[in-house]
Amino acid sequence: MTSLVRRLLLALLLAIVVYGAFVVWTGLSSLGSALGVFRWTALYAALALSSFNYGLRFLKWEYYLRVLGVPKIPSWESFLVFLSGFVLTITPGKVGEVFKSAVLERTHGVELARTAPIVVGERLTDVIAIVFLVAVGSIGFGGGLIWAALGALAVLAVLLVVLWDAPLTALFARLERSGGRLGAALPKLVTARASLKIVAGPRTLAFPTLLSLVGWAGEGLGLHLLLLGFGEETPLTVGLFFYATSTLAGALVPVPGGLGVAEAILQGGLSELAGVPLATATGAMLLCRLATLWWAVVVGFVALGLLRLRFPRALS
């Protein structure tokens, strides 16, 4: 736990440096003036929409547990286990959210290899939904089609790995012959592969993708409300487009939490393409990331703390 906290603090320090650079670049006085007229109820609304998305993502988690045949877990405990994964939201592509599978194994004895592929299913359906939002919004911003195409290619690559049995079957056979540590881990890899085919299979995609679409559109609406809070009457499609584009870029570029990448695209797109004043674009970017990325980390730590009270021995 100590090493985890240390890594998170380092990532937080990196975020502060990145955000501080944006503030200095924009100008403290101009950013202060923009925040001076900001209606803070817009931030509360953005936080509520992010929390609403967490609720939808929990439904995805429960859906995946059911299709994998995991025995029923008390809803409140399952909810806390799910939220605990948010402590590693700042890992590249949020793959660190597999932490919740480790917590589930320690608290309820469900094998980690069985549920870890859920993270792949979550990211796959998220990317499909975000690519759709980018494609819809890119009608007025041609550059967005590039990110939509990259996202579509990423989805196709994952589906190819999931659906094409021959390469992995040959790899598993080779590992079995070679023995060693990898050979010993083969049963867990086979379990993970079986779960992956279920959670990322075409028959399982529709419902969680719909939840992702509604949830990420809600967070895009949050950006729109933040801009309104600054007095910027930008169309809703602009907020959806730039939020989806920055989220997709942050997911595809392998940096912790998309730090630096998502911020640059969000702030630069709003100021250079949508005509939002630079100070306002920077303020909206900072508050948007607070309401999405860092709010999730806080929620994750609270959930993990409650779980440690509920399962003190398992999570000591």
Residue-wise pLDDT for 56-115, tens only, equals: 999 999 999 999 999 999 999 999 999 999 987 777 656 668 889 989 999 999 998 889
Q: Is the pTM of this model over 0.85?
A: no
How many residues in the chain?
316
Q: What is the mean pLDDT of residues 218-242?
A: 91
The confidence score (pLDDT) of residue 173 equals 64
Q: How far is CA 158 from CA 85, 119, 151, 202, in A?
A: 22, 12, 11, 12
> Are the C-beta atoms of residues 170 and 256 closer than 8 Å to each other?
no
Q: Is the dihedral of CA 289, 301, 251, 77 positive or negative?
A: negative
H-type helices in the chain, by residue range? 2-26, 28-36, 41-67, 75-84, 99-108, 112-115, 118-137, 144-163, 165-178, 180-184, 186-199, 202-229, 236-252, 261-268, 278-289, 295-310
How far apart CA 172 and CA 190 sit, in angstroms, is 8
Residues above pLDDT 70, as percent of the chain: 71
pLDDT in tens, 189-198: 666 667 777 7
**pLDDT at position 96:** 67
Which residue carries 């499609």 as its tokens? 237
Where do the structural domains in the chain lie, given as residue ranges?
Answer: 2-310
pLDDT confidence band for 2 (50 / 70 / 90): very low
End-to-end Cα, the chain, rounded Å = 9
pLDDT score of 170 more than 80: no
Binned at pLDDT 50, 70 and 90, residue 295 comes out as very high
Mean pLDDT taken over the chain: 81
pLDDT at 130: 86
* Spatial separation of the C-alpha atoms in residues 119 and 101, rounded to whole Å: 9
Give me the mean pLDDT over the 251-259 stretch: 70
Phi, psi of 13 (to 5 degrees): -60, -40
pLDDT in tens, 140-167: 665 556 766 766 677 677 666 666 666 6
Q: Exposed (0-12), middle (13-18) or buried (19+): which is 73, by Cβ within 10 Å? A: middle
Count how many Cα atoms sit within 13 Å of the Cα of residue 293 in the half-sphere of its side chain.
Answer: 28
Say if CB 284 and CB 292 are below 8 A apart. no
Q: Supply angle C-alpha 120, 289, 275, rounded to 5.
A: 115
Q: Which percentage of the chain shows pLDDT scores above 90?
A: 31
